[in-house]
Structure 1
Protein backbone atom coordinates (compact mmCIF):
# COMPACT_ATOMS: atom_id res chain seq x y z
CA UNK A 1 0.00 0.00 0.00
CA UNK A 2 2.84 2.39 0.87
CA UNK A 3 4.64 1.55 -2.39
CA UNK A 4 1.47 2.33 -4.33
CA UNK A 5 1.24 5.69 -2.61
CA UNK A 6 4.90 6.45 -3.40
CA UNK A 7 4.31 5.57 -7.05
CA UNK A 8 1.39 8.00 -7.15
CA UNK A 9 3.47 10.96 -5.85
CA UNK A 10 4.69 12.09 -9.31
CA UNK A 11 1.09 12.17 -10.51
CA UNK A 12 -0.02 14.13 -7.44
CA UNK A 13 2.81 16.64 -7.99
CA UNK A 14 1.82 17.00 -11.64
CA UNK A 15 -1.82 17.46 -10.64
CA UNK A 16 -0.91 20.15 -8.11
CA UNK A 17 1.16 22.04 -10.70
CA UNK A 18 -1.54 21.70 -13.34
CA UNK A 19 -4.18 23.05 -10.97
CA UNK A 20 -1.96 25.92 -9.85
CA UNK A 21 -2.71 28.14 -12.87
CA UNK A 22 -5.83 29.40 -14.57
CA UNK A 23 -8.24 26.78 -15.98
CA UNK A 24 -7.56 25.69 -19.56
CA UNK A 25 -10.15 26.63 -22.16
CA UNK A 26 -11.28 24.39 -25.03
CA UNK A 27 -11.84 27.18 -27.56
CA UNK A 28 -9.68 29.88 -29.13
CA UNK A 29 -11.22 32.48 -26.84
CA UNK A 30 -14.16 33.02 -24.51
CA UNK A 31 -17.01 35.46 -25.10
CA UNK A 32 -18.83 36.00 -21.79
CA UNK A 33 -22.57 35.33 -21.90
CA UNK A 34 -23.26 38.83 -20.61
CA UNK A 35 -20.96 40.54 -23.14
CA UNK A 36 -22.66 43.82 -24.09
CA UNK A 37 -20.60 44.66 -27.17
CA UNK A 38 -21.66 44.29 -30.78
CA UNK A 39 -23.44 41.07 -31.69
CA UNK A 40 -20.52 40.25 -33.99
CA UNK A 41 -17.20 39.69 -32.24
CA UNK A 42 -14.53 41.62 -34.10
CA UNK A 43 -11.27 43.44 -33.36
CA UNK A 44 -13.03 45.73 -30.91
CA UNK A 45 -13.60 42.79 -28.56
CA UNK A 46 -9.85 42.22 -28.34
CA UNK A 47 -8.99 45.89 -27.85
CA UNK A 48 -8.81 47.73 -24.52
CA UNK A 49 -8.74 51.53 -24.56
CA UNK A 50 -9.34 52.12 -20.87
CA UNK A 51 -5.81 53.33 -20.18
CA UNK A 52 -5.81 56.18 -22.69
CA UNK A 53 -6.90 58.79 -20.18
CA UNK A 54 -4.72 57.30 -17.45
CA UNK A 55 -1.56 57.40 -19.55
CA UNK A 56 -2.10 61.07 -20.34
CA UNK A 57 -3.40 62.15 -16.93
CA UNK A 58 -1.67 64.11 -14.20
CA UNK A 59 -0.33 62.17 -11.25
CA UNK A 60 -2.33 61.90 -8.05
CA UNK A 61 -0.81 62.44 -4.63
CA UNK A 62 -0.63 58.75 -3.78
CA UNK A 63 0.45 55.57 -5.54
CA UNK A 64 -2.19 54.48 -8.06
CA UNK A 65 -2.69 51.18 -9.85
CA UNK A 66 -5.07 50.63 -12.75
CA UNK A 67 -5.73 46.93 -13.34
CA UNK A 68 -6.69 45.40 -16.68
CA UNK A 69 -8.54 42.13 -16.09
CA UNK A 70 -11.65 40.33 -17.39
CA UNK A 71 -13.73 42.64 -15.22
CA UNK A 72 -13.01 45.55 -17.59
CA UNK A 73 -11.54 43.67 -20.59
CA UNK A 74 -13.68 40.53 -21.22
CA UNK A 75 -11.38 39.22 -23.97
CA UNK A 76 -8.84 38.24 -21.30
CA UNK A 77 -11.17 35.57 -19.92
CA UNK A 78 -9.48 32.19 -20.23
CA UNK A 79 -6.21 33.61 -21.59
CA UNK A 80 -4.25 33.41 -18.32
CA UNK A 81 -2.87 36.96 -18.51
CA UNK A 82 -3.65 40.38 -17.03
CA UNK A 83 -1.99 43.76 -16.71
CA UNK A 84 -1.56 46.70 -14.40
CA UNK A 85 -0.46 50.30 -14.98
CA UNK A 86 1.35 51.74 -11.94
CA UNK A 87 1.88 55.44 -11.21
CA UNK A 88 4.25 56.51 -8.46
CA UNK A 89 4.18 60.19 -7.43
CA UNK A 90 7.42 61.48 -5.90
CA UNK A 91 8.07 59.79 -2.56
CA UNK A 92 5.24 57.24 -2.90
CA UNK A 93 5.24 53.51 -2.23
CA UNK A 94 3.35 50.39 -3.21
CA UNK A 95 3.37 48.77 0.27
CA UNK A 96 4.42 45.16 0.89
CA UNK A 97 1.93 42.77 -0.68
CA UNK A 98 1.75 39.46 -2.54
CA UNK A 99 -0.09 37.89 -5.46
CA UNK A 100 -1.14 34.35 -4.52
CA UNK A 101 -2.02 33.22 -8.06
CA UNK A 102 0.76 34.64 -10.24
CA UNK A 103 4.28 35.94 -10.55
CA UNK A 104 4.59 39.62 -11.51
CA UNK A 105 6.86 40.92 -14.28
CA UNK A 106 7.41 44.66 -13.85
CA UNK A 107 8.79 46.95 -16.57
CA UNK A 108 9.82 50.44 -15.47
CA UNK A 109 8.93 53.03 -18.11
CA UNK A 110 9.88 56.26 -16.39
CA UNK A 111 11.93 57.41 -13.38
CA UNK A 112 13.49 54.95 -10.95
CA UNK A 113 12.22 52.59 -8.26
CA UNK A 114 13.60 50.67 -5.31
CA UNK A 115 12.03 47.20 -5.41
CA UNK A 116 12.40 43.98 -3.49
CA UNK A 117 10.84 40.71 -2.35
CA UNK A 118 11.33 38.33 0.59
CA UNK A 119 11.61 34.59 0.04
CA UNK A 120 10.34 31.85 2.36
CA UNK A 121 13.71 31.82 4.16
CA UNK A 122 13.18 35.49 5.05
CA UNK A 123 15.94 36.61 2.67
CA UNK A 124 15.48 40.02 1.01
CA UNK A 125 16.27 40.46 -2.69
CA UNK A 126 16.35 44.14 -3.63
CA UNK A 127 17.36 46.29 -6.58
CA UNK A 128 17.23 49.88 -7.80
CA UNK A 129 15.59 49.97 -11.23
CA UNK A 130 16.01 52.58 -13.95
CA UNK A 131 13.70 53.21 -16.91
CA UNK A 132 13.84 50.21 -19.25
CA UNK A 133 14.70 47.70 -16.49
CA UNK A 134 12.54 44.68 -15.67
CA UNK A 135 12.17 42.81 -12.38
CA UNK A 136 10.27 39.62 -11.61
CA UNK A 137 8.47 39.06 -8.31
CA UNK A 138 7.97 35.30 -7.77
CA UNK A 139 4.46 34.01 -7.27
CA UNK A 140 3.06 34.38 -3.75
CA UNK A 141 6.08 36.14 -2.22
CA UNK A 142 5.79 39.44 -0.35
CA UNK A 143 7.23 42.35 -2.33
CA UNK A 144 7.17 46.14 -2.66
CA UNK A 145 8.02 49.03 -4.99
CA UNK A 146 9.08 52.46 -3.75
CA UNK A 147 9.74 55.74 -5.54
CA UNK A 148 12.25 57.38 -3.22
CA UNK A 149 12.84 60.38 -5.48
CA UNK A 150 11.57 63.50 -3.65
CA UNK A 151 10.71 65.34 -6.89
CA UNK A 152 10.24 63.03 -9.89
CA UNK A 153 7.42 60.62 -10.69
CA UNK A 154 7.81 57.01 -11.85
CA UNK A 155 5.68 54.88 -14.16
CA UNK A 156 5.64 51.11 -14.58
CA UNK A 157 3.57 48.33 -16.08
CA UNK A 158 3.17 44.86 -14.61
CA UNK A 159 2.22 41.67 -16.42
CA UNK A 160 0.66 38.69 -14.60
CA UNK A 161 0.31 35.05 -15.64
CA UNK A 162 -3.28 34.91 -14.42
CA UNK A 163 -6.50 36.73 -15.21
CA UNK A 164 -6.86 37.31 -11.48
CA UNK A 165 -3.50 37.31 -9.69
CA UNK A 166 -5.11 38.49 -6.44
CA UNK A 167 -3.51 41.02 -4.12
CA UNK A 168 -2.86 40.48 -0.43
CA UNK A 169 -1.80 43.75 1.20
CA UNK A 170 0.33 43.08 4.27
CA UNK A 171 -0.55 46.31 6.16
CA UNK A 172 -4.26 46.14 5.35
CA UNK A 173 -4.65 42.41 5.93
CA UNK A 174 -2.86 42.56 9.25
CA UNK A 175 -4.21 45.78 10.69
CA UNK A 176 -7.66 46.28 9.16
CA UNK A 177 -9.03 42.74 8.94
CA UNK A 178 -10.40 42.57 12.48
CA UNK A 179 -7.61 40.64 14.23
CA UNK A 180 -7.83 41.39 17.95
CA UNK A 181 -5.57 44.24 19.13
CA UNK A 182 -4.15 42.12 21.94
CA UNK A 183 -3.15 39.36 19.52
CA UNK A 184 -1.43 41.88 17.25
CA UNK A 185 0.31 43.54 20.20
CA UNK A 186 1.73 40.20 21.30
CA UNK A 187 2.69 39.21 17.74
CA UNK A 188 4.57 42.47 17.14
CA UNK A 189 5.93 42.64 20.70
CA UNK A 190 4.39 46.04 21.36
CA UNK A 191 1.39 47.50 23.17
CA UNK A 192 -2.26 47.89 22.23
CA UNK A 193 -1.98 51.68 21.96
CA UNK A 194 0.65 51.34 19.24
CA UNK A 195 -1.46 48.82 17.35
CA UNK A 196 -4.47 51.14 17.51
CA UNK A 197 -2.38 54.03 16.21
CA UNK A 198 -1.24 51.89 13.27
CA UNK A 199 -4.85 50.93 12.55
CA UNK A 200 -5.92 54.56 12.68
CA UNK A 201 -3.29 55.50 10.11
CA UNK A 202 -4.53 52.79 7.73
CA UNK A 203 -8.24 53.54 8.12
CA UNK A 204 -9.86 54.89 4.93
CA UNK A 205 -10.45 58.62 4.95
CA UNK A 206 -14.07 59.80 4.86
Structure 2
Protein backbone atom coordinates (compact mmCIF):
# COMPACT_ATOMS: atom_id res chain seq x y z
CA UNK A 1 0.00 0.00 0.00
CA UNK A 2 2.82 2.44 0.92
CA UNK A 3 4.59 1.63 -2.35
CA UNK A 4 1.42 2.35 -4.34
CA UNK A 5 0.93 5.67 -2.50
CA UNK A 6 4.57 6.58 -3.14
CA UNK A 7 4.17 5.86 -6.88
CA UNK A 8 0.99 7.98 -7.03
CA UNK A 9 2.78 10.89 -5.32
CA UNK A 10 5.71 10.61 -7.77
CA UNK A 11 3.34 10.57 -10.77
CA UNK A 12 1.37 13.57 -9.46
CA UNK A 13 4.62 15.47 -8.83
CA UNK A 14 5.79 14.76 -12.37
CA UNK A 15 2.45 15.93 -13.80
CA UNK A 16 2.60 19.10 -11.68
CA UNK A 17 6.19 19.84 -12.77
CA UNK A 18 5.38 19.28 -16.44
CA UNK A 19 2.52 21.81 -16.27
CA UNK A 20 4.47 24.41 -14.25
CA UNK A 21 5.56 26.56 -17.22
CA UNK A 22 4.24 27.35 -20.70
CA UNK A 23 2.56 24.33 -22.32
CA UNK A 24 4.74 22.13 -24.50
CA UNK A 25 4.10 22.39 -28.23
CA UNK A 26 3.86 19.51 -30.68
CA UNK A 27 5.79 21.22 -33.48
CA UNK A 28 9.10 23.04 -33.88
CA UNK A 29 7.41 26.44 -33.76
CA UNK A 30 3.97 28.06 -34.03
CA UNK A 31 3.02 30.33 -36.91
CA UNK A 32 0.42 33.07 -36.40
CA UNK A 33 -2.99 32.36 -37.98
CA UNK A 34 -2.97 32.98 -41.73
CA UNK A 35 0.84 32.89 -41.97
CA UNK A 36 1.82 30.02 -44.28
CA UNK A 37 5.36 31.00 -45.25
CA UNK A 38 8.28 31.46 -42.93
CA UNK A 39 11.91 32.50 -43.28
CA UNK A 40 14.66 33.91 -41.06
CA UNK A 41 12.79 37.21 -40.70
CA UNK A 42 10.11 35.47 -38.62
CA UNK A 43 12.73 34.44 -36.05
CA UNK A 44 14.38 37.88 -35.91
CA UNK A 45 13.28 40.74 -33.63
CA UNK A 46 14.66 44.18 -34.44
CA UNK A 47 12.72 46.19 -31.86
CA UNK A 48 15.76 46.71 -29.61
CA UNK A 49 17.64 48.68 -32.29
CA UNK A 50 16.02 51.84 -30.91
CA UNK A 51 18.29 51.48 -27.87
CA UNK A 52 21.47 52.05 -29.86
CA UNK A 53 22.76 55.59 -29.31
CA UNK A 54 19.46 56.54 -27.63
CA UNK A 55 19.61 59.37 -25.07
CA UNK A 56 19.13 58.59 -21.38
CA UNK A 57 15.36 58.59 -20.73
CA UNK A 58 13.77 61.00 -18.26
CA UNK A 59 11.93 58.20 -16.47
CA UNK A 60 12.20 54.40 -16.16
CA UNK A 61 11.59 52.62 -19.46
CA UNK A 62 11.09 48.97 -20.31
CA UNK A 63 11.50 47.52 -23.79
CA UNK A 64 9.86 44.10 -24.14
CA UNK A 65 10.47 41.20 -26.45
CA UNK A 66 7.59 38.94 -25.47
CA UNK A 67 5.11 36.99 -27.55
CA UNK A 68 3.07 40.16 -28.21
CA UNK A 69 6.02 41.96 -29.80
CA UNK A 70 7.81 38.90 -31.21
CA UNK A 71 5.30 36.21 -32.34
CA UNK A 72 8.05 33.63 -32.95
CA UNK A 73 8.30 33.26 -29.15
CA UNK A 74 4.88 31.59 -29.01
CA UNK A 75 5.46 28.12 -27.54
CA UNK A 76 9.16 28.72 -26.82
CA UNK A 77 8.81 29.54 -23.06
CA UNK A 78 11.27 32.46 -23.19
CA UNK A 79 11.13 36.26 -23.43
CA UNK A 80 13.29 39.29 -22.70
CA UNK A 81 12.98 42.81 -21.40
CA UNK A 82 15.55 45.60 -21.47
CA UNK A 83 15.29 47.94 -18.47
CA UNK A 84 16.64 51.49 -18.68
CA UNK A 85 16.88 53.38 -15.39
CA UNK A 86 17.83 57.08 -15.48
CA UNK A 87 19.31 58.44 -12.23
CA UNK A 88 17.00 58.14 -9.20
CA UNK A 89 14.28 56.11 -10.96
CA UNK A 90 12.26 53.07 -9.97
CA UNK A 91 10.48 50.12 -11.51
CA UNK A 92 7.59 50.07 -8.98
CA UNK A 93 6.53 46.92 -7.10
CA UNK A 94 5.00 44.40 -9.50
CA UNK A 95 4.67 40.68 -10.16
CA UNK A 96 5.00 38.35 -13.14
CA UNK A 97 2.28 35.72 -12.62
CA UNK A 98 3.55 33.28 -15.25
CA UNK A 99 7.36 33.37 -14.94
CA UNK A 100 10.40 33.92 -12.77
CA UNK A 101 12.75 36.73 -13.83
CA UNK A 102 16.52 36.56 -14.19
CA UNK A 103 17.99 40.10 -14.23
CA UNK A 104 21.50 40.80 -15.53
CA UNK A 105 22.86 44.28 -14.70
CA UNK A 106 24.89 45.49 -17.68
CA UNK A 107 25.77 48.98 -16.41
CA UNK A 108 25.47 50.98 -13.19
CA UNK A 109 24.22 49.91 -9.78
CA UNK A 110 20.72 48.83 -8.83
CA UNK A 111 18.83 48.23 -5.58
CA UNK A 112 16.60 45.18 -6.07
CA UNK A 113 14.30 43.18 -3.84
CA UNK A 114 11.33 40.86 -3.54
CA UNK A 115 8.88 39.91 -0.79
CA UNK A 116 8.12 36.22 -0.19
CA UNK A 117 4.81 34.73 0.95
CA UNK A 118 5.77 35.23 4.62
CA UNK A 119 6.25 38.99 3.95
CA UNK A 120 10.03 38.70 4.30
CA UNK A 121 11.96 41.19 2.16
CA UNK A 122 15.08 40.02 0.32
CA UNK A 123 17.20 42.90 -1.03
CA UNK A 124 20.55 43.36 -2.70
CA UNK A 125 22.63 46.17 -4.19
CA UNK A 126 23.73 44.91 -7.59
CA UNK A 127 26.96 45.99 -9.26
CA UNK A 128 27.65 45.88 -13.00
CA UNK A 129 27.88 42.24 -14.07
CA UNK A 130 25.68 40.86 -11.25
CA UNK A 131 22.66 38.60 -11.81
CA UNK A 132 19.61 38.39 -9.53
CA UNK A 133 16.57 36.10 -9.70
CA UNK A 134 13.01 37.13 -8.79
CA UNK A 135 10.90 34.03 -8.04
CA UNK A 136 7.74 33.53 -10.07
CA UNK A 137 4.68 35.45 -8.88
CA UNK A 138 6.36 37.33 -6.01
CA UNK A 139 6.17 41.13 -5.62
CA UNK A 140 9.49 42.73 -6.54
CA UNK A 141 11.08 46.05 -7.53
CA UNK A 142 14.25 47.68 -8.90
CA UNK A 143 15.59 51.13 -7.94
CA UNK A 144 18.47 53.16 -9.32
CA UNK A 145 19.50 55.14 -6.23
CA UNK A 146 22.38 56.84 -8.03
CA UNK A 147 21.66 60.55 -8.48
CA UNK A 148 24.09 60.94 -11.43
CA UNK A 149 24.37 57.76 -13.46
CA UNK A 150 22.04 55.56 -15.51
CA UNK A 151 21.57 51.83 -14.84
CA UNK A 152 20.91 49.38 -17.64
CA UNK A 153 19.74 45.77 -17.30
CA UNK A 154 18.39 42.84 -19.30
CA UNK A 155 15.80 40.46 -17.87
CA UNK A 156 15.03 36.95 -19.11
CA UNK A 157 11.70 35.24 -18.36
CA UNK A 158 10.72 31.57 -18.36
CA UNK A 159 7.58 32.29 -20.38
CA UNK A 160 6.79 33.80 -23.75
CA UNK A 161 4.09 35.81 -21.95
CA UNK A 162 5.21 36.40 -18.34
CA UNK A 163 2.58 39.08 -17.68
CA UNK A 164 3.08 42.09 -15.43
CA UNK A 165 0.80 43.14 -12.59
CA UNK A 166 1.73 46.60 -11.25
CA UNK A 167 0.88 46.83 -7.55
CA UNK A 168 0.17 50.61 -7.52
CA UNK A 169 -1.92 50.46 -10.69
CA UNK A 170 -3.83 47.30 -9.87
CA UNK A 171 -4.78 48.71 -6.47
CA UNK A 172 -5.26 52.44 -7.06
CA UNK A 173 -6.12 52.65 -10.77
CA UNK A 174 -8.75 49.92 -10.57
CA UNK A 175 -12.44 50.24 -9.78
CA UNK A 176 -12.04 49.05 -6.18
CA UNK A 177 -14.27 51.29 -4.05
CA UNK A 178 -12.40 54.11 -2.26
CA UNK A 179 -13.96 53.15 1.08
CA UNK A 180 -12.73 49.57 0.71
CA UNK A 181 -9.21 50.87 0.00
CA UNK A 182 -9.37 53.33 2.91
CA UNK A 183 -10.36 50.58 5.34
CA UNK A 184 -7.77 48.19 3.89
CA UNK A 185 -4.93 50.71 4.26
CA UNK A 186 -6.25 52.06 7.59
CA UNK A 187 -6.61 55.60 6.26
CA UNK A 188 -9.40 57.84 4.93
CA UNK A 189 -11.08 58.23 1.56
CA UNK A 190 -9.45 61.65 0.99
CA UNK A 191 -5.95 60.12 1.26
CA UNK A 192 -6.91 57.33 -1.16
CA UNK A 193 -8.21 59.91 -3.64
CA UNK A 194 -4.98 61.90 -3.37
CA UNK A 195 -2.94 58.77 -4.13
CA UNK A 196 -5.18 58.00 -7.12
CA UNK A 197 -4.80 61.54 -8.42
CA UNK A 198 -1.01 61.27 -8.10
CA UNK A 199 -1.05 58.08 -10.17
CA UNK A 200 -3.31 59.62 -12.81
CA UNK A 201 -6.31 57.55 -11.79
CA UNK A 202 -9.92 58.70 -11.69
CA UNK A 203 -11.29 60.14 -8.45
Q: Does TM, normalized by the shorter one, top 0.5?
A: yes
- What is the aligned residue count? 199
Q: CA offsets per residue over residues 12-63 of structure 1, 9 Å max, x none? A: 443333223111111112222244xxx6523222111110112331122111
* Partners of 2:172 and 2:201 within 8 A in 1: no
Asked if 1:83 corresponds to 2:76, the answer is: no
Deviation at 1:176, TM superposition (A): 0.8
Deviation at 1:170, TM superposition (A): 0.6
Give the match's secondary structure for 1:51.
helix
Gaps of 5+ in 1: none
Give the match's secondary structure for 1:183.
helix
Matches of 1:34 and 1:55, distance apart in 2: 33
Matches of 1:33 and 1:114, distance apart in 2: 42
Name the residue aligned to 1:33.
Answer: 33
Name the residue aligned to 1:71.
Answer: 68
Q: Which of 186, 192, 195 is the equivalent residue of 1:195?
A: 192
Deviation at 1:11, TM superposition (A): 3.9
Asked if 1:168 corresponds to 2:153, the answer is: no
Asked if 1:19 corresponds to 2:19, the answer is: yes
Gaps of 5+ in 2: none
Query: Structure 2 matches for 1:52-71, cutoff 5 A?
Result: 52-71=49-68
Give the match's secondary structure for 1:65.
strand
Matches of 2:177 and 2:12, distance apart in 1: 38
Deviation at 1:187, TM superposition (A): 0.8
